[in-house]
Amino acid sequence: MHAINWFEIPAIDLERAFIFYSTILNNNVRKGTFGNSELILFNVPFNTGEAVGGSIVVRNDLKPTTEGGNIFLNAFGTLSNAVSKVESAGGKVIVPFMDLGKFGFAAIIIDSEGNKIGLISNEK
């Protein structure tokens, strides 16, 4: 079991968010639908319970924010590679590098939608 079951990252423009996350996460996101709504899903095995699932969504009750805690997303490769793509994809790098010791490396960014997001990797 995981402490987190599902998460949602709010977006204003789903296509812009798709391009942003596709760029920085090495194409490890895909478009999908749930009911009548379009969303972006992360390419992880959440259906089997091997990974925590999540999506990027446009909903009236969710607004992008830089307040509150961070969600740390797998960088799907080296941290430096993901961070190097953030600004050209429409985001901003806040903390480019944190050494987490045995837990790897992390960075804090603002995504294309205005959310504060963490990126994490075992590789610098």
What does the pLDDT look like over 32-55, one tens digit per residue?
999 999 999 999 999 898 999 999
Mean pLDDT, residues 87-98: 98
Q: Supply the pLDDT for residue 58.
A: 97
Query: DSSP assignment of 55-124, as one string?
Result: EEE--TT----SSS--PEEE-SS-HHHHHHHHTTTT-EEEEEEEE-GGG-EEEEEE-TTS-EEEEEES--
The yes-or-no verdict on residue 1 having pLDDT over 80 is no
**Of 84, 64, 110, 98, which is closest to residue 24 (Cα–Cα)?**
84
Q: Which domains does the chain have, with CATH numbers?
A: 6-121 (3.10.180.10)
Q: Could you report the per-residue pLDDT of 12-29, keeping only the tens digit for each?
A: 999 999 999 999 999 999
Q: Supply the pLDDT for residue 88.
A: 98
Q: Supply the pLDDT for residue 3.
A: 83
Beta strands 116-121; 72-74: pairing state: parallel
- Contact status, residue 57 vs residue 10, Cβ threshold 8 Å: yes
User: What is this structure's pTM?
Assistant: 0.93
